[in-house]
Amino acid sequence: MNGSGFDGGEFDGLDSLLDEPSAGGSAFGDLDSLLVDPPTTSPSMGVSAMSMGSDDAEFGDLEKLLEDSEGSGSGGGKGLAPAARRPARPSKGFAEQTMRVPVKHLDNLSNLVGELVVNRNSLEQDQERMRQSLDNLLYQVQQLSDVGQRMQDLYERSLLESSLLASRQNRGVLPLSLRPKAPVEALSNDVEYDPLEMDRFTGFHTLSQEMIELIVRVRESASDIEFIVDETDQVTRMFRQVTTQLSEGLTRSRMVPFAQTADRLPRAVRDIAMKCGKQAELVIEGRETLIDKMILEQLYDPMTHLVNNAITHGIESPDIRGAGGKVAAGRITIRAFHQGNQTVISVSDDGAGIDVERVRSKAVEKGLLSSGEAQNMSRLDLYDLLFHPGFSTKDQADDFAGRGVGMDVVRTSLTDIRGVINTDSALGKGTTFTIRLPLTLSISKALCCISDRARIAFPMDGVEDMLDLPKDRVSHNAEGQVCIPWRDTTLPLRPLTELLSLNRHLSRGTVYGGSQEEDMISVVVLRSAGNYLALQVDQVLGEQEIVIKQLEGPVPKPVGIAGATVLGDGRIMPIADVLELLDLSMGRIRRDAGSMWDQSPDGPVELPPSKVQPMVLIVDDSITVRELLSMTFNKVGYRVEQARDGQEAWEKLRSGLPCDIVFCDIEMPRMDGLELLSRIQKDVNLKKMPIAMLTSRGADRHRQMAVSLGARGYFTKPYLEEALLDAAARMLKGEILISNA
């Protein structure tokens, strides 16, 4: 026992007990078992409390010796801790239990959660529309309350005026002595009561009183609706929180850390480097990145092949590295992280890089390409040859290289799990292989934007910043690239329309944004693995939680698009692939890669120019007429704006309403249609806008007056929808449907 740190003669008795077994050996057997596996007892129990039978005395001596050793400060080492201070092992009955669940069941649950999130987004969108309608209703109720207050004042004033008028008339006809007296029951305080002093009610007063009471009831109903909408908003927020926790929990239940595969690679690196006579160290980043367990199990072979390739083909021998100014030991970096709905794994080395000319010559030597084809191939196409079956740049095959099966296995294995791999290399600096593994279903936040009159979303984990810049801050760098200042540096600016092309706008109407100023541009800054890119979009709408679904089937995935999502109103919105957009901007991948739509035997298809929906302004004092006309124009694709009289229409036009055609009534309060027509003709910016009169006045003098003021059409009520729509289309083309003849 002295070797374990005990010192002093007081331990001789303990040494003799441990070295020389006696007849009570069973007691020491119990002691050994207690020291190895202490029982689950309270930490406050001493060693003597755990002893049994006749061995109490021996355990008591042992405990005394241990306590004495703990109290003494002599000796160079620490004494043994008493058994009473050993932590108790948890009972097996309270251990965390596990259960095996088929992956198919988890996939079904993931799909159900995705549908739940889509329905929740639809509910939130309906809730937002309800809130907007409620705000509009409350505004109208406020206006109605003001009208009711004015009606109340007019009601009381009319009662007073009618009473005074009646009193004056009766006073002029009958003397006071001849006026009928009130009955005795009506007298109070000996004052005579004149029945003519009572208020006289007419039909107007009765109707006014009913309207005032109805206004009060409408105001109370609006308050009740507001209370219900507020309660529904709270329920919707709780619903969002629960669905978010449910999706996160379900995602964690089927994912395991990347370290389960990465921790098996250092030994392979050490063995291969030793056999190849090289020095290499492995650096793993993102060990805690969660990856689907089924995908992770199939990642070990591709990762092993990539590490083998980095050592055999990439990292040089220590002598060559020393001559090139590098450290003797090469570095292989494996990095795992999430990017939108993808898990990205990069394998980088600081070796010699890929010799493009050697790849070209080997391809010609093996008969894969002719000399002319090899010379015309781009750098990216030559990198793809590395994954061709049987291709290798080694002249002599050995146990680790030259057989041409490693990289082929990598691409085949990744294809089975719907993954893709990209190659980037710099001669003399190293090579990077980037693996992108899509998730079957992912719920994440995205930044919704508008580009080329279509919606597109960027995953928030790939968005670094968003800003609006004046156009005069856009400049050019020394290489002639368009750049913008950003955080004490400059970033290349690329319009999103240059990287992504939309062959068709999949919607009936055009997506209209807000009032974007002409001298301002909207910019979204994307990031990936330390690289940044500034993208110019038409408008940034805001952040939204979406369900990202993969594009499956025989149709190839468009370059730059990772998937799609379903909006609350049922529309499909594409999700941008941040990594591919960065690769497109840097020229690492081709824009037409994997696209079957651009390969047309007849050449590129000329698409007709998209038609912008015109806006019609309907001016009428009758809300029924305005709503009917709005439905008529809406169903054929017009945008509609309403005005209840000429004054409101004039204010909207003067404030910048983008109107293309006006249908206006003649008889309206505040400002009639003819006065509005006269004002529009005097305005330089509005005089070219076609205006048609829609009125119940069919007299020729009204028609001639409208024509003289510049009206291009004149229609009387009732009207035919077909004729009105046809006339609107003709007037938009510049035709004048009435003349001054």
Q: What's the pLDDT tens digit per position in 233-261?
A: 899 889 888 988 888 788 778 788 888 88
464 plus 373 within the same structural domain? no
Q: Which band of pLDDT confidence, cut at 50, 70 and 90, is reported for residue 400?
A: low
Task: Check residues 736 and 397 and name the one with the higher pLDDT.
Answer: 736
Query: How confident is the model at residue 432, as a pLDDT?
Result: 92
Residue 510 forms part of a structural domain: no
pLDDT one-digit tens code per residue, 12-47: 444 444 444 444 444 444 444 444 444 444 444 443
Looking at the structure, tell me whether residues 339 and 241 fall in a common domain: no
Q: Are strands 539-549 and 572-576 parallel, antiparallel or unpaired?
A: unpaired
Q: What is the mean pLDDT of the chain?
A: 75
Q: What is the pLDDT of residue 401?
A: 53
Which pLDDT band holds residue 355 (cuts at 50, 70, 90)? confident
> Which run of H or of E encompasses 585?
helix 578-586
Q: What pLDDT does 373 receive?
A: 81
Q: What is the pLDDT of residues 318-337, one digit of tens each?
A: 888 888 888 888 999 999 98
Residues 362 and 450 in one domain: no
| C-alpha–C-alpha distance, residues 335 and 293, integer Å | 18
| pLDDT tier for residue 339 given thresholds of 50, 70 and 90 | confident
| CATH (domain of 365) | 3.30.565.10
Boundary residue ending a domain (249, 269, 287): 249
Contact 26, 40 (CB under 8 A): no
At residue 156, the pLDDT reads: 79
Which of 284-288, 440-444, 482-486 shows the lowest mean pLDDT across its residues?
440-444
Q: Residue 610: inside a domain, yes or no?
A: no
**How much is the average pLDDT of 653-662?**
85
pLDDT for res 70: 53
Range in 50-59, 381-390, 674-683 with the lowest mean pLDDT: 50-59
pLDDT in tens, 685-732: 888 889 999 888 878 888 888 888 888 889 888 888 888 899 999 998
Per DSSP bridges, beta strands 441-451 and 561-566 are unpaired
Q: Average pLDDT, stretch 633-643?
A: 88
Q: Which residue range is the domain that position 72 belongs to? A: 2-89
Q: At what angle do helices 12-19 and 56-71 cross, to 10 degrees?
A: 140
Residue 99 lies in a domain: no
Kindly state whether residue 572 falls inside one of the protein's structural domains: yes
Is there a single domain that holds both residue 434 and residue 445?
no
Q: Using 50, 70 and 90 to split pLDDT, how confident is the model at 415?
A: confident
**pLDDT digits 0-9 by tens, 174-208:** 444 444 544 544 444 444 445 444 455 667 777 77
* Amino acid 333: pLDDT: 93
Give the dihedral of Cα atoms 40, 45, 47, 50; nearest 10 deg.
Answer: -50
Low-confidence winner among 76-85, 97-106, 439-448 (lowest mean pLDDT): 76-85
Confidence bin at 4 (pLDDT 50/70/90):
very low
Question: Quick check: helix, strand or coil at residue 482?
Answer: strand
Quick: pLDDT tens for 65-89.
656 655 554 444 444 444 444 555 5
Q: Is residue 598 part of a domain?
A: no
Give the domain-ending residue among 390, 422, 438. 438
Q: Are residues 678 and 723 in the same domain?
A: yes
Return the pLDDT at 1. 42
**CATH code for the domain of 575:** 2.30.30.40
Supply the CATH number for residue 680's domain. Answer: 3.40.50.2300
Do 17 and 161 belong together in one domain?
no
Pairing state between β 441-451 and 454-459: antiparallel
Give pTM, 2 decimals. Answer: 0.49
End-to-end CA distance of the chain: 128
Contact residues for 431 (Cβ-Cβ < 8 A; gap 6+): 310, 314, 348, 349, 351, 353, 354, 423, 424, 425
Same domain, 434 and 446: no
For residue 144, give the nearest of 203, 212, 204, 207 by alpha carbon: 212
Instruction: Tell me the CB-side half-sphere exposure of residue 209, using CA atoms within 13 A.
Output: 9
Residue 184: what pLDDT?
43
Phi, psi (degrees; rounded to nearest 5) at 728: -65, -45
Burial 43-52 (b: 16+ CB within 10 A, else e): eeebbbebbe
Residue 334: the pLDDT is 93
Residues 525 and 575 in one domain: yes
- Is 132 a residue whose pLDDT tops 90? no
Query: pLDDT at residue 364 above 90?
Result: no
Number of domains making up the chain: 5
Give the mean pLDDT of 546-559: 72
Distances (CA, A) of 545 to 118, 248, 437, 567, 636: 9, 13, 21, 10, 33
pLDDT digits (tens, 9 = 90+) for 494-503: 888 888 876 5
Q: Confirm whether 593 is domain-assigned.
A: no
Same-domain pairing of 214 and 276? no
Which pLDDT does position 662 carry in this prediction? 92
pLDDT tens digits, residue range 512-535?
Answer: 344 455 678 899 998 876 678 899
> What's the pLDDT tens digit per position in 156-168?
788 777 777 777 7
Question: What's the average model confidence in pLDDT over 638-666?
Answer: 88
R_g of the chain computed on alpha carbons: 43
Residue 741, domain member (yes or no): no
Most confident stretch, 140-144, 392-396, 615-619: 615-619
Per the domain annotation, does 131 fall within a domain? Answer: yes
